[in-house]
Structure 1
Amino acid sequence: MQPTSPVSEPQTLSYDVTEQIGHLLRKAGQRHTAIFQHYVGDNQLTAIQFVTLCALRDHGPSSQTELVEATAVDQATIRGIIQRLKSRDLIELAPDKDDRRKVIVELTQEGLDLLDRVIPRAHTISELTMGNLNPAERVAIVYLLRKMIDSTLEMSDKE
């Protein structure tokens, strides 16, 4: 089923892809990823692996399904992330006490130590990602991005 557009369609001739929200979000995401990789201080750690470690720190031992929800990463991708983090001894896996088929992921001391080293850098990375935005613009962009995400979730709930 094709979603209906809440706005009128602009003319094709006046369409400049470089001014479209998707293109701009992708470029901003690429910029953030480059800043993250340059300043994180661990050339094996990706931004989404960092998010996964933070989710485990914040939520405690979690199933893969819970990590999918906490990180907004799909099931197949989270499996690969877990595998790579486990190979670095940053997490450990154990069967759930109540359901032996379910695997629980937990931070190791090495994972906690890595977070202790990286989180101060993450603050710097966020600052650099925001670039020359003034304090009001910083609040506004975070607010607007959350609003966009929330409206996307509302749309998927209606389907």
Structure 2
Amino acid sequence: MSDTTDQTPDSTVAYDFSEQVGHLLRKAYQRNMAIFQQNIGDSQLTAVQFITLCAVHDHGPSSLSELIKATAVDQATIRGIVERLQGRGLITLEPAAHDRRKVIVSLTEAGQQLVRDTQPSAARVSELTLGKLNPAERVAILYLLRKMVDESSD
């Protein structure tokens, strides 16, 4: 009895890169980033800087390793982001009380205000990104994306 759920690629079908999941995800991501830059209201703020600020806003003062986990940004990149945000006066860095080698990132009042002021625009970015989808499709794509990135099922 053969398994009808076998999903082995058929070698007789031509490979079309433009229909591959990675390519389509990259194009969707690029579209989302363009919408972000057009609508966020702060030309110096990148999407990854914003999610870093949001992570500290939501979780409170955080170590770099906690930010890496919360944002899914690698260590080298998070360090650069933190340096730029500190340079703009949006965050402060202090050694942890229990381990002076560990750096704790906190929002300044300016950082807190930027997050509060930017969140409505960020919600609009999501709305514009999903704009062509009906309500059921929106629920489905968010569910499927969460399922794709859920590491607990690996």
Identify the residue that residue 44 of structure 2 maps to in structure 1: 44
* Consecutive unaligned residues in structure 1, runs of 5 or more: 1-5
Distance (Å, rounded) in 2 between the aligned partners of 1:106 and 1:10: 52
What residue identity is the alignment partner of 1:83? E
Report the Cα offset of residue 11 of structure 1.
1.9
* Cα distance in 2 for residues equivalent to 1:12 and 1:126: 39
> Which consecutive aligned stretches of 4+ in structure 1 deviate over 6 angstroms post-superposition?
none
Look up the equivalent residue of 2:52 and give its one-letter code.
T
Which segments of 5 or more consecutive residues in structure 2 lack a partner in the other structure? 1-5
Instruction: Kindly state the Cα deviation for residue 116 of structure 1 after the two structures are TM-superposed.
Output: 1.4
Question: SS of the counterpart of 2:27?
Answer: helix
Note the C-alpha offset of 1:154. Answer: 3.8
What whole-Å deviation, never above 9, does each CA across 1:8-42 have from its counterpart, x for those lacking one?
A: 13326511110110000000000000000010000
Displacement after TM superposition at 1:117 (Å): 1.2
Residue identity opposite 1:113 in structure 2? Q
Residue of structure 2 in register with 1:134 after alignment: 134
Amino acid at match of 1:58: D
Q: Give the paired residue count.
A: 149
Q: What amino acid sits opposite 2:60 in the alignment?
A: G
Q: Please give the alpha-carbon distance, in whole angstroms, between the structure 2 residues aligned to 1:109 and 1:7.
A: 53
**Which secondary structure does the structure 2 equivalent of 1:14 belong to?**
coil
Q: Give the letter aligned to residue 131 of structure 1.
A: G
The Cα of 1:131 is off from its aligned counterpart by 1.8
Residue 119 of structure 2 aligns with an amino acid whose one-letter code is: I
Bigger helix share: 1
Task: Assess, with a 3 A threshold, how the Cα gap between structure 1 residues 93 and 154 changes in structure 2: closer, same or farther.
Answer: same
1:3 corresponds in structure 2 to: none
Alpha-carbon RMSD across the aligned residues, in angstroms, is 1.3
Alignment CA distance shift 1:86-1:12 (3 Å): farther
Aligned ranges for residues 106-125 of structure 1 at < 5 Å? Answer: 106-125=106-125
Query: Equivalent residues in 2 for 1:1-159 (5 A)?
Result: 7-11=7-11, 13-150=13-150, 154-155=153-154
Within 2, Cα distance between the matches of 1:55 and 1:145? 20
TM-score (norm 1): 0.90
2:43 match: secondary structure: coil
